[in-house]
Structure 1
Amino acid sequence: MTTMKAVRCLGFGHQHRLETGIAVPKPKPGEILVRVDASGVCAADRAMWDGSGPWSLPFPFTPGHEFTGTVVELGEGADERHGVKVGDRAVAELNITYGNDFFRQRGLYHLADSMDVIGATLDGGWAEYMIYPADAVIHKVPENLSNAAACYTEPLANAIHGVERADIGFEDVVIVSGAGPIGMGMLQAARLKTPRKLILVNPGAAKRRLALTLGADMAFHPDDPELKTALADLTGGRGADVFLEASGQTQAFTLGLELLRKAGRLVVFGVYKKPVAVDLNIFGEFKELDIRGGHLAPFTYRTALDLMSRGLIDGDACVTHTYPLEAFEEALERRPEPDEVQIKIILDPQM
């Protein structure tokens, strides 16, 4: 275990390379070396691959910000610092913050002005081994979780944060827009809030069928006229109480504005590739809407692991495809076949 293989991103726009003979890193004080058991492929990774991402990053680096690993070596003091031992499985939160940052002091560490990000400014999980930094927030993986489910922790934690932002109540009619990794996580987490009705909106029929098994009461194509009819019947024509937007599609955002009742709550968690033109009078003059952003996963990784461990959220159902590290290009380029469920794709460096 002196050298390893890893995918290196040398720049945006198809500039990823699989490299071998890379020295396995040695953990410094407080750091943890893990064998990567699985690492996810995210929409952000695809944006780096196709060159559409808005970020400025220090190249080269190893991508992969969704990961789970088995501890193989501990830097000095890391066992006491993180509460793990060799042989434990663990995940690390992707954002690393430091010092007296304004937002960090206020419990908003996910919004810190200055941070490192595993899989971007620090080497991530598209490798056989990786370092969990000394300042990372690290969580042990419950024994009854598969590596696939553990790898789903990061997107699920994001989804849970979005659901918490929505303040869902017992009488609410809730719409989840989008059935990707975060949308399907939102659906399952929102179900645990026991709203009156939970509706998924997504174009793909196969995902709509899966959503009905994961907790949705109803599922509609966004263009299906029955969506508005059903919503009117449920709410006396008022509209939905909560709209969780996880698709990143501009038309989904505008649909949410249309379907929400007056004083409804819209949580925006999708990442959009182009601006959305809307009539601002909808926000104020006509509906007095409550628009809330959602970003990353503060204080929700532990919740994600716990809910999956207790069988309340099915992480394995959301991991649909696995590839070896050598096939990372195929994983990045993969698109679902007609009527196929494709949600989370992961890389297994041990394959």
Structure 2
Amino acid sequence: MAMQPVAAGRPATIHDIAALCGVAASTVSRALTNPDRVNVRTRQRIQAAAVELNYTPNSQAKALSSGRTGAVGVMVPDITNPFYFDLIRGTQLQLKAAGYTQLLVDTEESDEVEASTLEQLRKSADGVIVAASRLNDDTLAAAAARMPMVTINRDVSGVPAVIIDTPAATSQALDHLISLGHSRVAYIAGPATSQSSTRRWATLSDAAEERGVEVRRLGPFAPKTQSGAAAADAAVHSGVTACIAFNDLIAIGMLQRLRERGLRVPQDMSIVGCDDIFGADFCNPPLSTMASPIEQAGRVAVSMLLAQLNPLAGGITRSRSVMPTHLTVRGSTGPAPAAR
């Protein structure tokens, strides 16, 4: 992309970006404030031009001069969990294109750390994106009333949210296992405070009842690879032939533990993970898992937050956005032992 001159001393405008990209100024405005309304290739070209020209939105420049910080907090429960890598990348790119700085916080799977951090961010950030909050509904709603907020994978009345529809993929996973002859399936639950885990179990138990198969809940387990050993032992003890795990990390830990015990996957036990993190297809065997548009969820959350921060910019304020998911079948699922 060839650099176009901008008059000395004059900040770049959306018209400069439009001229550089060969699009209308209104398209640039939509791409920077409500990006899901612009096709991906055009949006990426506009965002790259905005970075190249060091563009700062007028609304953001005014905000900085009126006491705003120009920063947005992004809070995740565990920064080492690969699920959040793409999410953080999505929020980072979207915020940078809009002229904001991202303040990344690891809340350590702790509701206390999360609550204290939210209070601190009221002074250091203009708004906050909270992924997989461990706070109760009342506390989270009260925090959202004090500062602009969007949650990811946490549905609380009155709080704008991006929901990754993993319950739908959970039903797909159950149907996949039933088609392979499995009639005794375990759900390896995540943290007790995880709304996503609760929603998946509710969907899974209803689907199992409709289909006439047995599904039991095991756990809760911390969403880490180390939890997989205990989860695998519990699954073997329960007598199930297949498991749907809360996330890929637990599922990968289960693969390792089952191998240590001399059990074969999928011949003796089928395993399904969730999130399709980097490396899920490198496992032995490659992990069947529920794939999510994680980076896009981060971008949409930023778009929803910017609509709160800059209501005059023309973006559409949404209170809820649901991201679709799907099952990716790999080598960790196969016919039930009795079906051979």
Structure (1/2) with the larger strand percentage: 1
Q: Same fold (TM over 0.5)?
A: no
Question: What TM-score do the two structures reach when normalised by structure 1?
Answer: 0.32
Indicate the structure (1 or 2) with the bigger Cα radius of gyration. Answer: 2
Structure (1/2) with the larger helix percentage: 2
Question: What TM-score do the two structures reach when normalised by structure 2?
Answer: 0.33
